[in-house]
Protein backbone atom coordinates (compact mmCIF):
# COMPACT_ATOMS: atom_id res chain seq x y z
CA UNK A 1 0.00 0.00 0.00
CA UNK A 2 1.59 3.30 -1.09
CA UNK A 3 1.70 6.44 1.06
CA UNK A 4 -1.21 8.15 -0.76
CA UNK A 5 -3.40 5.08 -0.41
CA UNK A 6 -2.46 4.75 3.25
CA UNK A 7 -3.34 8.37 4.00
CA UNK A 8 -6.60 8.20 2.06
CA UNK A 9 -7.74 5.11 3.92
CA UNK A 10 -6.72 6.57 7.29
CA UNK A 11 -8.58 9.84 6.68
CA UNK A 12 -11.70 8.14 5.34
CA UNK A 13 -11.88 5.80 8.32
CA UNK A 14 -11.45 8.66 10.79
CA UNK A 15 -14.07 10.72 8.97
CA UNK A 16 -16.51 7.83 8.84
CA UNK A 17 -16.13 7.17 12.58
CA UNK A 18 -16.55 10.87 13.38
CA UNK A 19 -19.63 11.34 11.21
CA UNK A 20 -21.31 8.19 12.49
CA UNK A 21 -20.65 9.16 16.11
CA UNK A 22 -21.89 12.72 15.59
CA UNK A 23 -25.04 11.63 13.77
CA UNK A 24 -26.05 9.22 16.53
CA UNK A 25 -24.76 10.96 19.67
CA UNK A 26 -27.38 10.97 22.40
CA UNK A 27 -30.00 9.35 20.17
CA UNK A 28 -29.41 5.62 20.56
CA UNK A 29 -31.18 3.28 22.99
CA UNK A 30 -29.24 1.64 25.79
CA UNK A 31 -28.78 -2.02 24.90
CA UNK A 32 -26.62 -4.43 26.86
CA UNK A 33 -23.80 -5.88 24.80
CA UNK A 34 -20.70 -8.03 25.21
CA UNK A 35 -17.60 -8.64 23.11
CA UNK A 36 -16.22 -12.06 22.18
CA UNK A 37 -13.45 -13.41 19.97
CA UNK A 38 -14.06 -16.21 17.52
CA UNK A 39 -11.13 -18.37 16.44
CA UNK A 40 -10.95 -18.88 12.68
CA UNK A 41 -8.40 -20.33 10.31
CA UNK A 42 -7.19 -16.77 9.66
CA UNK A 43 -6.88 -15.78 13.32
CA UNK A 44 -9.20 -14.34 15.97
CA UNK A 45 -12.30 -12.47 14.84
CA UNK A 46 -14.08 -9.96 17.08
CA UNK A 47 -17.86 -10.08 17.44
CA UNK A 48 -20.24 -7.99 19.53
CA UNK A 49 -23.46 -9.45 20.90
CA UNK A 50 -26.44 -7.17 21.61
CA UNK A 51 -28.85 -9.00 23.90
CA UNK A 52 -32.50 -8.81 22.89
CA UNK A 53 -35.18 -8.90 25.56
CA UNK A 54 -37.63 -11.03 23.58
CA UNK A 55 -35.27 -13.31 21.69
CA UNK A 56 -36.30 -16.72 23.02
CA UNK A 57 -38.79 -17.52 20.27
CA UNK A 58 -37.02 -15.93 17.31
CA UNK A 59 -33.81 -16.31 15.32
CA UNK A 60 -30.51 -14.69 16.21
CA UNK A 61 -29.47 -11.93 13.81
CA UNK A 62 -25.91 -11.98 12.41
CA UNK A 63 -24.95 -8.55 11.08
CA UNK A 64 -22.24 -7.52 8.59
CA UNK A 65 -21.67 -3.76 8.41
CA UNK A 66 -21.29 -1.62 5.30
CA UNK A 67 -18.36 0.56 4.28
CA UNK A 68 -17.14 -0.77 0.95
CA UNK A 69 -15.06 -3.53 2.59
CA UNK A 70 -12.67 -0.67 3.56
CA UNK A 71 -14.48 1.37 6.24
CA UNK A 72 -16.52 0.61 9.33
CA UNK A 73 -16.22 -1.47 12.48
CA UNK A 74 -18.17 -2.58 15.51
CA UNK A 75 -18.35 0.97 16.83
CA UNK A 76 -19.45 2.82 13.68
CA UNK A 77 -22.46 0.55 13.28
CA UNK A 78 -23.22 -0.04 16.94
CA UNK A 79 -26.12 2.46 16.84
CA UNK A 80 -27.79 0.49 14.03
CA UNK A 81 -27.38 -2.74 16.02
CA UNK A 82 -28.83 -1.09 19.13
CA UNK A 83 -31.86 0.21 17.25
CA UNK A 84 -32.33 -3.16 15.55
CA UNK A 85 -32.17 -4.97 18.87
CA UNK A 86 -34.62 -2.57 20.50
CA UNK A 87 -37.15 -2.59 17.65
CA UNK A 88 -37.08 -6.33 16.99
CA UNK A 89 -36.54 -7.64 20.51
CA UNK A 90 -34.05 -10.15 19.08
CA UNK A 91 -30.35 -10.66 19.74
CA UNK A 92 -27.92 -9.18 17.21
CA UNK A 93 -24.38 -10.47 16.64
CA UNK A 94 -22.17 -7.98 14.78
CA UNK A 95 -19.06 -9.27 13.00
CA UNK A 96 -15.85 -7.22 12.79
CA UNK A 97 -14.48 -8.71 9.57
CA UNK A 98 -11.07 -7.75 8.16
CA UNK A 99 -10.87 -4.70 5.91
CA UNK A 100 -9.05 -3.84 2.69
CA UNK A 101 -6.52 -2.72 1.61
CA UNK A 102 -4.64 -4.42 4.44
CA UNK A 103 -6.71 -7.55 3.86
CA UNK A 104 -8.03 -7.63 0.28
CA UNK A 105 -10.50 -10.06 -1.28
CA UNK A 106 -11.50 -12.63 -0.16
CA UNK A 107 -10.67 -11.80 3.49
CA UNK A 108 -14.01 -10.17 4.37
CA UNK A 109 -15.99 -12.92 2.65
CA UNK A 110 -13.96 -15.62 4.39
CA UNK A 111 -14.43 -13.97 7.79
CA UNK A 112 -18.19 -13.65 7.44
CA UNK A 113 -18.49 -17.24 6.29
CA UNK A 114 -16.37 -18.42 9.23
CA UNK A 115 -18.36 -16.31 11.69
CA UNK A 116 -21.67 -17.68 10.43
CA UNK A 117 -20.46 -21.24 10.69
CA UNK A 118 -19.25 -20.52 14.23
CA UNK A 119 -22.59 -19.02 15.25
CA UNK A 120 -24.41 -22.03 13.81
CA UNK A 121 -22.19 -24.38 15.81
CA UNK A 122 -22.50 -22.43 19.07
CA UNK A 123 -26.01 -21.04 18.77
CA UNK A 124 -27.29 -22.64 21.97
CA UNK A 125 -24.74 -20.73 24.06
CA UNK A 126 -25.21 -17.29 22.49
CA UNK A 127 -28.46 -16.37 24.21
CA UNK A 128 -32.10 -17.36 23.90
CA UNK A 129 -33.27 -18.11 20.36
CA UNK A 130 -35.27 -20.64 18.39
CA UNK A 131 -32.03 -22.20 17.12
CA UNK A 132 -32.04 -20.38 13.79
CA UNK A 133 -30.49 -17.16 12.46
CA UNK A 134 -31.06 -14.29 10.08
CA UNK A 135 -28.14 -12.82 8.12
CA UNK A 136 -28.25 -9.03 7.78
CA UNK A 137 -26.02 -6.57 5.92
CA UNK A 138 -26.03 -3.15 4.34
CA UNK A 139 -24.09 -2.15 1.21
CA UNK A 140 -20.86 -4.22 1.19
CA UNK A 141 -22.29 -6.00 4.22
CA UNK A 142 -25.35 -6.90 2.17
CA UNK A 143 -23.04 -8.42 -0.40
CA UNK A 144 -21.32 -10.40 2.36
CA UNK A 145 -24.65 -11.67 3.68
CA UNK A 146 -25.78 -12.86 0.24
CA UNK A 147 -22.43 -14.47 -0.56
CA UNK A 148 -22.39 -16.23 2.81
CA UNK A 149 -25.87 -17.65 2.27
CA UNK A 150 -24.79 -18.93 -1.15
CA UNK A 151 -21.66 -20.64 0.21
CA UNK A 152 -22.97 -22.33 3.34
CA UNK A 153 -23.01 -26.11 3.37
CA UNK A 154 -26.51 -27.64 3.62
CA UNK A 155 -26.29 -28.47 7.33
CA UNK A 156 -25.56 -24.87 8.27
CA UNK A 157 -27.89 -23.40 5.65
CA UNK A 158 -30.79 -25.17 7.35
CA UNK A 159 -30.27 -22.90 10.34
CA UNK A 160 -30.65 -19.75 8.22
CA UNK A 161 -34.26 -18.58 8.41
CA UNK A 162 -33.72 -15.62 6.10
CA UNK A 163 -31.63 -12.66 5.07
CA UNK A 164 -32.09 -8.89 5.20
CA UNK A 165 -30.02 -6.95 2.68
CA UNK A 166 -30.08 -3.15 2.50
CA UNK A 167 -28.88 -1.45 -0.72
CA UNK A 168 -26.45 -4.34 -1.33
CA UNK A 169 -23.56 -4.59 -3.76
CA UNK A 170 -24.60 -7.35 -6.18
CA UNK A 171 -22.51 -6.61 -9.27
CA UNK A 172 -19.30 -4.94 -10.49
CA UNK A 173 -19.25 -1.34 -11.75
CA UNK A 174 -18.11 -2.57 -15.18
CA UNK A 175 -21.77 -3.44 -15.81
CA UNK A 176 -22.23 0.34 -16.13
CA UNK A 177 -25.85 0.48 -15.00
CA UNK A 178 -27.80 3.73 -15.52
CA UNK A 179 -27.81 4.50 -11.79
CA UNK A 180 -24.00 4.68 -11.82
CA UNK A 181 -24.44 7.62 -14.17
CA UNK A 182 -27.71 9.15 -12.93
CA UNK A 183 -26.70 9.01 -9.25
CA UNK A 184 -22.96 9.48 -9.78
CA UNK A 185 -22.63 12.44 -7.44
CA UNK A 186 -24.53 14.63 -5.04
CA UNK A 187 -25.33 11.92 -2.51
CA UNK A 188 -23.54 10.15 0.36
CA UNK A 189 -22.03 7.50 -1.92
CA UNK A 190 -20.63 8.67 -5.24
CA UNK A 191 -20.04 6.40 -8.22
CA UNK A 192 -16.30 7.19 -8.13
CA UNK A 193 -16.08 6.24 -4.46
CA UNK A 194 -17.87 2.95 -5.12
CA UNK A 195 -15.43 2.19 -7.93
CA UNK A 196 -12.53 2.91 -5.58
CA UNK A 197 -14.02 0.62 -2.92
CA UNK A 198 -14.29 -2.25 -5.39
CA UNK A 199 -10.81 -1.69 -6.81
CA UNK A 200 -9.34 -1.50 -3.32
CA UNK A 201 -11.03 -4.67 -2.12
CA UNK A 202 -10.24 -6.56 -5.32
CA UNK A 203 -6.63 -5.30 -5.12
CA UNK A 204 -6.74 -3.23 -8.32
CA UNK A 205 -7.72 -6.16 -10.49
CA UNK A 206 -9.05 -3.68 -13.03
CA UNK A 207 -10.86 -4.80 -16.19
CA UNK A 208 -10.36 -8.48 -15.39
CA UNK A 209 -12.46 -8.30 -12.24
CA UNK A 210 -15.91 -8.50 -13.80
CA UNK A 211 -15.05 -11.59 -15.85
CA UNK A 212 -12.79 -13.41 -13.40
CA UNK A 213 -14.50 -16.44 -11.87
CA UNK A 214 -12.77 -16.02 -8.51
CA UNK A 215 -14.61 -12.71 -8.00
CA UNK A 216 -18.10 -14.18 -8.40
CA UNK A 217 -18.49 -13.94 -4.62
CA UNK A 218 -18.65 -10.15 -5.11
CA UNK A 219 -21.24 -10.49 -7.91
CA UNK A 220 -24.18 -12.57 -6.63
CA UNK A 221 -26.37 -11.02 -9.35
CA UNK A 222 -24.77 -13.39 -11.86
CA UNK A 223 -24.78 -16.46 -9.61
CA UNK A 224 -26.61 -19.50 -10.95
CA UNK A 225 -27.39 -20.58 -7.37
CA UNK A 226 -29.74 -17.80 -6.26
CA UNK A 227 -32.66 -20.24 -6.01
CA UNK A 228 -31.06 -21.67 -2.87
CA UNK A 229 -31.25 -18.35 -1.04
CA UNK A 230 -33.53 -18.14 2.02
CA UNK A 231 -36.54 -15.82 2.39
CA UNK A 232 -35.25 -12.33 1.73
CA UNK A 233 -36.10 -8.78 2.71
CA UNK A 234 -34.39 -6.56 0.15
CA UNK A 235 -34.29 -2.79 0.59
CA UNK A 236 -33.13 -0.50 -2.22
CA UNK A 237 -32.72 3.29 -2.30
CA UNK A 238 -33.54 5.56 -5.20
CA UNK A 239 -30.59 7.95 -4.75
CA UNK A 240 -27.86 5.35 -4.95
CA UNK A 241 -25.35 4.28 -7.62
CA UNK A 242 -26.21 0.70 -6.56
CA UNK A 243 -29.92 1.20 -7.21
CA UNK A 244 -30.14 -0.69 -10.49
CA UNK A 245 -28.12 -3.72 -9.46
CA UNK A 246 -30.32 -3.98 -6.36
CA UNK A 247 -33.46 -3.81 -8.49
CA UNK A 248 -31.99 -6.37 -10.87
CA UNK A 249 -31.23 -8.66 -7.96
CA UNK A 250 -34.83 -8.41 -6.81
CA UNK A 251 -35.85 -9.54 -10.28
CA UNK A 252 -33.45 -12.48 -10.16
CA UNK A 253 -34.85 -13.63 -6.82
CA UNK A 254 -38.43 -13.39 -8.03
CA UNK A 255 -37.70 -15.39 -11.18
CA UNK A 256 -35.86 -18.00 -9.11
CA UNK A 257 -38.87 -18.45 -6.83
CA UNK A 258 -37.19 -17.12 -3.68
CA UNK A 259 -39.62 -15.77 -1.07
CA UNK A 260 -39.02 -12.03 -1.42
CA UNK A 261 -40.22 -8.83 0.21
CA UNK A 262 -38.75 -5.92 -1.75
CA UNK A 263 -39.05 -2.36 -0.49
CA UNK A 264 -37.78 0.49 -2.67
CA UNK A 265 -37.32 3.76 -0.79
CA UNK A 266 -38.00 6.57 -3.23
CA UNK A 267 -36.65 9.35 -0.99
CA UNK A 268 -33.63 7.55 0.45
CA UNK A 269 -29.94 7.78 -0.34
CA UNK A 270 -27.27 5.16 0.15
CA UNK A 271 -25.78 5.16 3.65
CA UNK A 272 -28.76 6.19 5.75
CA UNK A 273 -28.32 3.12 7.98
CA UNK A 274 -25.33 4.75 9.72
CA UNK A 275 -26.44 8.38 9.34
CA UNK A 276 -28.55 8.60 12.48
CA UNK A 277 -32.27 8.43 13.21
CA UNK A 278 -34.54 9.86 10.51
CA UNK A 279 -37.97 9.26 9.03
CA UNK A 280 -36.57 6.82 6.48
CA UNK A 281 -34.54 5.05 9.19
CA UNK A 282 -37.63 4.63 11.34
CA UNK A 283 -39.48 3.33 8.30
CA UNK A 284 -36.72 0.76 7.78
CA UNK A 285 -36.86 -0.38 11.42
CA UNK A 286 -40.62 -0.88 11.18
CA UNK A 287 -40.22 -2.80 7.90
CA UNK A 288 -37.59 -5.08 9.41
CA UNK A 289 -39.58 -5.72 12.59
CA UNK A 290 -42.70 -6.54 10.58
CA UNK A 291 -40.82 -8.93 8.29
CA UNK A 292 -39.01 -10.62 11.20
CA UNK A 293 -42.33 -11.27 12.93
CA UNK A 294 -43.33 -13.54 10.03
CA UNK A 295 -39.92 -15.19 9.55
CA UNK A 296 -38.89 -17.99 11.90
* Residue 211 banded pLDDT, cuts 50, 70, 90: low
- Tell whether the model's pLDDT for residue 209 goes beyond 60: no
Residue 170 has pLDDT above 60, yes or no: yes
> At CA 96, angle to CA 92 and CA 100, rounded to 5?
145
The CATH number of 3-293 is 3.40.50.1820
Residues in the chain: 296
- Percent of the chain predicted with pLDDT > 90: 86
Instruction: State pLDDT tens for residues 106-157.
Output: 999 999 999 999 999 999 999 889 999 999 999 999 999 999 999 999 999 9
- Active site (annotated) includes residue 139: yes
Catalytic residue among 73, 171, 240, 244: 240
Active site residue 240: yes
pTM of the predicted protein model: 0.96
**Out of 88, 129, 139, 223, which one is annotated catalytic?**
139
**Cα four-point dihedral sign 288, 295, 90, 139:** negative
pLDDT tens string 50-101: 999 877 788 999 999 999 999 999 999 999 999 999 999 999 999 999 999 9
Show me where the domains of the chain are located: 3-293
Percent over 70 (pLDDT), the chain: 96
On average, the pLDDT of the chain sits at: 93
Instruction: Using alpha carbons, select from 193, 192, 194 the residue that is nearest to residue 172.
Output: 194
* Average pLDDT rounded to a whole number, residues 251-280: 95
> Cis omega (within 30 of 0) on the bond before 106?
yes
- 270 among known catalytic residues: yes
Kindly name the residue from 33, 65, 87, 270 that is annotated as catalytic: 270
Q: What is the mean pLDDT of residues 199-206?
A: 80
Give the strand pairing for 43-50 and 33-40.
Answer: antiparallel
Give the pLDDT mean for 203-214.
Answer: 60
Q: Residue 296 pLDDT > 90, yes or no?
A: no
Amino acid sequence: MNLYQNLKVLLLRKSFRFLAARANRGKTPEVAHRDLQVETGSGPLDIRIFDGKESGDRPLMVYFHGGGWVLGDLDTHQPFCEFLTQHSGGTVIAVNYRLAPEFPFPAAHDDCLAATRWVAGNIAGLGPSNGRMILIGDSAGGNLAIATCLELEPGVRERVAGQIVIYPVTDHYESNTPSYREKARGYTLSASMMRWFLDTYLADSGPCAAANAQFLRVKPLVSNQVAMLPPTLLVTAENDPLRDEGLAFAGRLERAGVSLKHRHLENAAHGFVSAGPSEVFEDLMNEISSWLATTT
